[in-house]
Structure 1
Amino acid sequence: MDKDNRTTWQETVANKRLRQQSCIPKEWVISLPLDKECKDIRNTVLTCGLLSPRELEITSVSDVGLLLDKLASAEWSAVEVTTAFSKRAIIAHQLTNCLTEIFIEEALERASQLDDFLRQNGRVVGPLHGLPISLKDQFCVSGHESSMGYVSWLHKLAKNDSAVVKLLRASGAIFYVKTNIPQTLMWGETFNNVFGRTLNPYNLSFTPGGSSGGEAALLALHGSVLGVGTDIGGSIRNPAHFCGIYGFKPSANRVPTYGIVNSLDGQDAIASVAGPMSTSLSGIKVFMQAILSARPWRIDPNVINKPWDTDGYALKQYGEGRKLCFGVVWDDGIIKPQPPVMRALHTAKTALEKAGHSVIDWTPHKHAELIANARAVFLADGGADYADALTSGEPLIHSMKPDADPNQVPEFRRPRDPLTAYQLWQLHKQRRELRKEYFEVWERSIDSTDTGRPVDALICPVSPYAAVPHGEKKSAVYTIIWNTLDCPSLVLPITEVNAELDVSVPAHEFRGADDEAVYKLYDPQLFHGLPVGVQIVGYRGEEEATIAIAELVEAALKASI
C-alpha cells in the first residue's frame, strides 16, 4: 500500500468522524469520567446531569410493553420519549463508542407527526407507535449511510429502507441511531477502521461482543429498549450475554433481511437472520408479533408465509406449558464452560424443577462436525468477499486485540483457495444429513422424558465465559451450532459473576488450544460483576413457542428468588 493511498482512506475516516460528531447536539456533550480506574460506567448515565428527572424516569423503563402502553395512552408523548432516548443514546456513545449513524432531528420530526396523529384520531398508527428503535448498522434507512465499517462504503446513501425497517416504520416505530459492528461482521467483537472500538459498559476493558456489539452496549445503558441485530453464528446472542440483555435469533426466513448490507452476501446455506435485542422479554415478543403480523413475505420473497402463531405461543402442542421437560447442555465436549456459566445453568435448572418442570442432561450430537461444516461454508470464497469491500486501501483487520501486530496474520485470515461449486455442494449435503441426525436424536428423547413428548427445549451456555477482555474472544461454538441447525434461540440474563461463588476449579484434560486458553483466562476477581445468561433453544421454525417457553423460564427464575 503506497503512502498516498493510505492517506486517502485515513482522511476519509477522519471526515466521517467529523460528520458523525456534528450530529451530536453540543449541549448533549458530557464530561467523561476522570477516574481511569473506573471500569463500570453504567452509573455515569444517571449522574452526568444531562437527563432531567422526567427523562430518567422514561429511559429507566425496561419493559417495552409498559412503555408502549404509556405512549398509546398519551401519558408520555412520542416527542418526549424520543428526546429522552436520543439523549441517553448520545451519553452511551460518548462512554462506549456504540453508534455509527445519528439522525435525531429526523426522529423528532417523525415523533411529532405520530403525536399529531394520536391527538387527531384517538388511536395509534400501529403496535409500535412512538417507540424509538435502534438499528445495527447493516439496516438501511433511506437517505443515510450503511457503511458497515468499510471505508469504501462511506458516502453511499441508502435509496430505500430495508424490508424490516419498512415494516417497523409502518408499525409506528421511530428510528434515531444506528450502531457499531466489526469490520467484515465475522467477529465476536466490535472494532473497525471507520468508527473504532466499542466498549462494554460493565467494564470498559472488556468487549461487548459482536457483531451486534454496538446494539448490546447501547441497550445495556438504556440508550434504547429495543433494537434490531443480525446473527449468523452468535452475533445477536453473544453480545446479549456479554451485556446482560435479551436477544433472539429466529429461524431463517421468518424475519425479513431483504435490503440489508452484509458480508458473505449471497451465501444462503447458513443464512444470516435478523432478530430483536431488548431490555425486556416483552420487547422480544412485541417485535416478533409486529413483524410477523405485518405479512413480511409480501416485501421479502424469502420469508415464509407464516403469520404470528397464536396457538404456538399458547404452547398448544406443549401441554399448554403446564409441565415441560428441558434438556441441559452442560458441556459441548469442545470448550468447557467457566464456573459462572455453570452456575447460571444450575440456577435455571433449580428454578425450573421448583416450578414443577423436569430437566434432564442433553448429550451433544456431533457438535464439532456441525461447527466445522459452518466454518467451511463461511470460508468457501477464499476471502473474495472481504477483498471486494476493501477497495479504499484500508487494511483487513486480523485481530481484535488493541495491541495486535497488523503484520501477524492468523491461520483463518491467510490466503486460501476458494472451494469449487462441487466441494461446496458436498458441504451442503453433509449439513443436510447432520441436521437430519440431530433432529432424529431430539425426537428419540421422548424415551427419556416424563411428558409423553420429546424434550421441549434446550438450555445451554451462550458462550463458555462471560464477556472477555478486548481481543480474547476465542470461539462461538455454543451459538454457531444453532445457526447450522437453524433453531430459534433466545438469550435470558440470569446472574452476574460473583468472585466468592464462582471460584476457579482444578484443570481438566484440555480438548485443544482454545479449551486450554479459556480455562487459563478465567480470573474470578477480573470477571467479577459481568453478566451471565443462558440460551433457550427451541425446535426449528417454532419462534412463538420458544418465546413462550422463555417466558416460563423467566417466571420460574423470578419465583425462585
Structure 2
Amino acid sequence: MGGSVLGKAESFPLASEKLLQSELQPWQDIAKERQQYRDASISRVEPRVPDVDTRFLPLNVLDTARSMLTHRETDITEKCSIDLINLMASGNLTAVEVTNAFLRRAGVAQNLVNCITEVLPERALNRAKYLDEYYQKHKKPIGPFHGLPISVKEHIAMKGLTFDAAFCSKAGDIAPDDNALIKILFDAGAIFYARTTEPQSLMHIETDSNLYGTTVNPFNRNLTCGGSSGGEGALIGIRGSSLGIGSDIGGSIRVPSANNGLYGFKPTQKRIPKGLMAGAGSSEGIEGTLGPMSTTLEPLSLFMSTILASNPWETDPSILPIPWRQEPSFPVDTTAGKPRKMKIGVMRWDGVIMPHPPITRGINEVVAKLEAFPDQFEIVEWNQEAADTILACDTVTALWFADGGQRLYRELEKSGEPILPLTEWIVTLPSVPKPPGLIIQDLWKLKSDVTKIQTTYAAKWLAAGIDVLLAPAAPGVAPRLQTAKYTSYTSMWNVVEYPVAVFPVSKVDDRDLGAWNYTPVGKQDEDHAAEWDANDFMGAPIGLQLVARRFQDEKVLEALTIIKNTIGLPFVDLAPRSPDSPRL
C-alpha cells in the first residue's frame, strides 16, 4: 500500500520491537505483550471506547454494543456495505466519519466478545482522509470499494504488521508485504482498520488461543463464534464490521458465518489469490482459499468481481484465468418475466450425524417456501451416503496433517506454549497420521482418494440434474464453548473444491422446545444428540449452505440472490433493536 496515502500511520510503531525476539521469551510474556499492544491500539480511538464490566453482561450483547455508541455511529455501522459505498460515492457520507464509527464499534466489540488483535486508527483515518480529499477534488470515488472499512483475519499479511496464525512463537513475525487481496481491495478504495482473532494453529472451528484467549458469540456469549475465521465472525456479527476477509480450508469462513447470522462465501480453490499468509505450513492435497464474510449478500459478488477484474492470474500462476462471468446462469424468460426454473437438491443430513432440530426446521422452512413457487423451483432430495461422508472426512483430516502434525508441534515447542484441547483433539484423530507423517506412497493413496471422492460427487450431481444443493452448514447452531469438533458438513466441499455460500435463515426460538424424538444411528450421532437442549441455544442464528459445482461461483451467488429475493431471507430479524436501549 502506497506510503503517500498513509501519512502519519507510517511514523507510528506498527509492532512491538520486543516481539522481534519472541522466541527467546516465555509464551506468557509474549501473550501479555500482544494483549497490551492490542489494548493500546484501541485506546487511541477517539472518542475513547467505553470500558465494560464483563461480569454483568447479558448473553446477547447486540443491544449492549448499541448502548455504548451514539445514535449516529449505530446507524452507520448497521448499514450494509453497498449502502455505505453508495452514500460515500454520492457525497452523503465521508470516509472519515464511516471509518471512525467502525473503529469505535470494533473497540466496543473487543470489550464484549474478545475478537480483535489490533485496530489501526492512524493508518485507517489517514487513508479515509485521503479518499475524502480525492472525492472532493475529482467528484467521483476512487474505486468500487471507495471508503469502505474492511476487517481482516490476522494471519492474512499486512505489510509492517505481525501475522502469527495464533502461535506465540510467531508473534514477532512481521509481514514483509501485503497479501494480494489486500493490494487489490486497497486499489479499489478499501480502508483496512481492524484485524481479528483466530485459533491456535488455525485448525479449530472455535476461536481460542494462548495469545488472546477465547472469542465468544455476540448472540450468546456461552456459545462459540466458530473458527478459524471466528474473530471475523464475531466482529461482523456484532456489526463492528460490515465486510471482512476470512480463509477456509475446512469450513473456516462458513462455520463462523453460520454461527453469527452472516453471509459467507468459500470460492472454488484457485479462483482468487491466497497470497501471503502466516501458518504452520501448507496442506498437501487440500487447498485453502480466502473469501468474504458480510452482513448482507450483495457484497459477496462485488468482492469476487473486484478481485477478478484485476486479472490476478497475470502475477500469480496458481490462479486459473477465469474472469468473473456476467452472463446470468438463470436468464429471465421475457415471456414469463421470471428466471429459468432452478433445480435444487436438498441434503438434509450427511448420514453420520443428524442435525439438531433448529437446522432441520430451517431446511424445512426454506423448502416449503420454495415449493410455493413450483414454476420457479424444483426440489430434489439428495441422499448422502454415510460411507461417502466418512471417506471425505477421513481423507481431509489426514491431508491437513500429512506430516503428522510435526510443524504444529515445533511451533509450540519454540515458545513452550501448551497445546490447547481442541488443537490436541484434531491432531490426534485416528485418521491423522502419527509423526513423522506419511511416506510418499501413503500420500499418493490419499490423493487418489481425493480423485475418487470428486468423481463420485460429480457423477451423483449429474444424475440428480441439479443446479445447486441446499445443505446444513453444521450439525447444529453455534455449539457451547469447547465442544465444536464435527466438520464434515463443510469440509466435504473442500475436498471436491465446490464453491459454497452460507446464509442466515432464522434463529432458535420457542418452536424448538419440546422433546426431540430421534434415535441415533451411531456413537457420534448419539453424543451429538445428547448435546441438544433448546434452552441453551435460544436466540442463536440458524445458517445453511448453498453449493454449486466447481468453478460455478457466479452461479451459486446468483442462485442465492434469486432464492433470497423470492422467499425473503432471513425469515426473522436476527438482531432487532430494543426501543428502550440506553444510548451515550
Q: TM-score scaled by structure 2?
A: 0.88
- How far 1:28 moved relative to its partner? 2.6
The structure-2 alpha-carbon separation of the partners of 1:422 and 1:316, relative to structure 1 and needing over 3 Å to count, comes to farther
Q: CA deviation at 1:7?
A: 6.8
Who is 1:336 aligned against? 354
Q: Tell me the equivalent position of 1:307.
A: 323
In the alignment, does 2:508 pair up with 1:497? Answer: yes
Task: Pick the aligned partner of 2:308 from 292, 313, 324.
Answer: 292
Q: 2:442 corresponds to which residue?
A: 423
1:385 matched to 2:395? The reply is: no
Q: CA deviation at 1:299?
A: 3.1
Q: RMSD of aligned C-alpha atoms?
A: 2.4
The reply on whether 1:42 has 2:52 as its aligned counterpart is: no
Task: Deviation per CA, 1:253-297: give whole Å up to 9, x if none.
Answer: 1121021223432x2521011000000001212111111112121
Aligned length: 540
Identity between Structure 1 and Structure 2 (%):
32
Partner of 2:577: none
1:440 maps to which of 447, 459, 472: 459
Find the aligned partners of 2:384 and 2:393 in 1 and give their Cα distance.
12
2:109 counterpart residue number: 92
Does the 8 Å CA contact 2:505/2:569 hold for their aligned counterparts? no
1: CA distance, partners of 2:196 / 2:428: 27
Partner Cα separation in structure 2 for residue 287 and residue 112 of structure 1:
23
Aligned to 2:82: 65
Paired residue secondary structure (2:292): strand
Counterpart position of 1:106: 123
Structure 2 portions without partners, runs of 5+: 1-22, 572-584
1:316–1:251: structure 2 CA closer, same or farther, 3 Å change rule?
farther
Aligned to 1:531: 541
Instruction: Pick one of 63, 68, 71 that aligns with 1:53.
Output: 71
Q: 1:11 maps to what in 2?
A: 29
Which residue of the partner structure matches residue 370 of structure 2? 352
Deviations 1:190-246 (A, max 9, x none): 011111110110111111010000000000111100000000111111111111111
Query: Does the aligned pair in 2 maintain the 1:339–1:503 contact within 8 Å?
Result: no
Picking from 395, 415, 420, the partner of 1:373 is: 395
Shift of 1:303: 1.0
CA shift, 1:8, in A, is 2.0
8 Å contact from structure 1 (residues 398, 409) kept in 2: no
Verify the 8 A CA contact 1:494 1:532 in the aligned structure 2: yes
Q: 1:161 to 1:10 in 2, by over 3 A?
A: same
- What is the CA distance between 1:414 and its match in structure 2? 9.4
Point out the more displaced range, 74-83 or 417-426. 417-426
Conserved? CA contact 2:520–2:529, under 8 Å? no
Counterpart pick for 1:485 among 490, 496, 512: 496
1:281 counterpart residue number: 297
Indicate if the aligned counterparts of 1:190 and 1:198 stay in contact, CA closer than 8 A.
Answer: yes
Change (3 A) 1:289 1:315: farther
2:417 counterpart residue number = 395
User: What's the secondary structure of 2:451's corresponding residue?
Assistant: helix
**Distance in 2, Cα, partners of 1:313 & 1:221:** 34
2:481 is equivalent to residue 464 of structure 1: no
- Distance between the aligned counterparts of 1:466 and 1:554, measured in 2? 20
Partner Cα distance (1:497, 1:505) in 2: 14
Tell me which moved more, 376-385 or 167-176: 376-385
Shift of 1:97: 0.7
- Give the superposition deviation at 1:34: 6.1
Instruction: Write the deviation string for residues 117-152 of structure 1: whole angstroms up to 9, x where unpaired.
Output: 111112211111110000011111111111121111
Structure-1-length-normalised TM-score: 0.91
More divergent stretch after superposition (299-308 vs 500-509):
500-509
Alignment check: 8 A CA contact 1:163 1:300 kept = no
* Contact 1:167/1:291, CA 8 A, preserved across alignment: yes
Letter in 1 for 2:362: A
Is 1:322 the counterpart of 2:340? The answer is: yes
Distance 1:309 1:411, change over 3 A: closer
Misfit runs of 4+, over 4 Å? 312-317, 406-415
Is 2:199 the counterpart of 1:188?
Answer: no
Residue matched to 1:543: 553
Secondary structure at 1:516 match in 2: helix
- Amino acid paired to 1:19: Y
- In structure 1, the partner of 2:7 is none
Aligned pair in 2 of structure 1 residues 315, 293: CA closer, same or farther (>3 Å)?
farther
Task: Give unmatched runs, 5+ long, in structure 1.
Answer: 446-453
Q: Match for residue 137 of structure 2?
A: 120
Task: Assess, with a 3 A threshold, how the Cα gap between structure 1 residues 192 and 277 changes in structure 2: closer, same or farther.
Answer: same
Q: Is 1:136 matched with 2:153? A: yes
User: Is 2:47 the partner of 1:25?
Assistant: no
Cα 1:407/1:168, change in 2 over 3 Å: closer
C-alpha contact 1:253 1:302 (8 A) present in aligned 2: yes
Q: Is the 8 A contact 1:351 1:560 kept in 2?
A: no
d(CA) in 2 for partners of 1:279 and 1:6? Answer: 41
Query: How far did residue 503 of structure 1 move?
Result: 3.2
Equivalent residue in structure 1 for 2:172, among 133, 155, 162: 155
Which residue matches 2:17? none
Distance in 2 between the 1:107 and 1:147 partners? 21
The CA distance in 2 between the partners of 1:409 and 1:444, in whole Å, is 36
Q: State the 1:439 CA deviation.
A: 0.4
Structure 1 range deviating more: 409-418 or 302-311: 409-418
What is the Cα deviation at residue 417 of structure 1?
3.8
Distance 1:75 1:299 in 2: 37
